[in-house]
Amino acid sequence: MASQLQSNSPEGIGRKSYDMSLSDHGFETKQLKGLSYPLGDHVPQYGEAYPLAPDIGWTRLPVPGNLNHINIWLLDDEFDGRSGYAIADTGLFLKDCIAHWKSMFEGELSDKQVTRIFVTHFHPDHAGCAGWLANRHKAPVWMNRTEWLMARMLTADVRDHPPKEALAIRKLMGYPEERLEKFAEQGWGNFAKAVSRLPISHTRMDDGDVIAVGSREWQVITGGGHTPEHSCMVDHHNGVIIAGDQILPRITSNVSMMDLEPNADPLGEWLASIDKFKDALAPDMLVLPAHGSPFTGVQKRLDRLAEGHHERLDILEKEFAKRELRACDCFDLLFDREITDSVYGLAAGEAMAHLRHLDRTGRATCEIRDGVAWFGKA
């Protein structure tokens, strides 16, 4: 595991920066399902930079659909001759998000400089404004190499129609014919519509790197399954983690079979990552998630995330005694909600990830018939 402290670290790095229990904010702590929310129901408004700690700001930007928002973290920083703040995650490259960024730059952040831009992973709500911010502020993007390459690749792929391979993968998952036709009609290259073009270079964030930001040292810990190498930033000394989508308090991150690797085992990677984070994080760590509110109880949450997937794997394995399953046959077994058109693809990808994991671990068999993957009893 690499360990690389940046050479421009200010004096005093690593000292206790702040009591991250957040007890001095004056809000009533809320307890829910074994987790503790020290700020209760308080959240910042879109475009408001709320002082979570003297050197950490918290703002939110809108996300369409059920997610509703993404949390953005502003970290006091001195880097490359600049004194100001670094941005961790960036929001979608959409008109509303850009308007909120501009209102902050022209308002409460007008007297500060952006030093650099950290991106946890390539998904549009996290990487969307990274290129736009980098160009506007002449600040470098810091990102895991794989995640940066994923974003660069997808913003460059602006074909009008889905490639034949993508249609074949949907057929493999059991899409009915009318769904395949609808998928083909939706076009391709939608990623580029919500992500600004990234600069041609970046600063790589490797697993294990330790990065000095202001008076803190953040260790990079990567996880797989949700994306190939999602980067979290952990301040062990002060007990806080910028978790991105790796550890969310109330929802489970989507773990799907990807077009990029249709034969991979993303759920296996996700479960291994949960074990990795359990070993790395202190029980009282404050989690700063991409969606939801800051919370403590990370070990309980990681346990529950793993338990939820294992419960669903057991349900699928039991069902094999009755029938074979395609991914699109599993929705009522895996999800406690109606699967509408807007989430059909995510649901199919997640169902396929569960079935693939059962196959890879010897708990199921898989037979491809007429381009469709059928899973059954081992």
What are the sequence ranges of the domains in the chain? 23-158+187-317
pLDDT at 7 over 60: no
Does an H or E element contain 10, and which? none
The pLDDT value recorded for residue 98 is 98
Which among 66, 60, 151 is positioned nearest to 346, based on CA atoms?
Answer: 66
Please determine, looking at this structure, whether the domain spanning 23-158+187-317 carries the CATH number 3.60.15.10: yes
Write out pLDDT tens, residues 50-61.
999 999 999 999
Confidence category of residue 186, pLDDT binned at 50, 70, 90: confident
**Percent of the chain residues past pLDDT 90, beyond the cut:** 90
Sign for the CA dihedral angle at 195, 199, 203, 206 comes to positive
Q: For residue 295, give the 3-state DSSP assignment.
A: strand
pLDDT of residue 295: 98
Given this model, what pLDDT does residue 325 score?
98
If you average pLDDT over residues 99-108, what whole number do you get? 97
Question: How confident is the model at residue 158, as a pLDDT?
Answer: 87
pLDDT at res. 273: 98
CA distance 125 to 244: 10
Pair type for strands 50-53 and 56-63: antiparallel
pLDDT for the residue 334: 97
pLDDT value at residue 20: 85
What confidence score (pLDDT) does residue 17 get?
A: 63
Average pLDDT, the chain: 94
Give the pLDDT score at 189. Answer: 83
pLDDT at 193 over 50: yes
Digit-coded pLDDT (tens) for 111-148:
999 999 999 999 999 999 999 999 999 999 999 999 99
Q: Is 104 helix (H, G, I), strand (E, B) or coil?
A: helix
Please give the pLDDT value at position 10: 38
pLDDT for the residue 16: 60
* Mean pLDDT, range 351-362, rounded to an integer: 98
CA dist list (Å): 359 to 173, 231, 320: 14, 28, 12
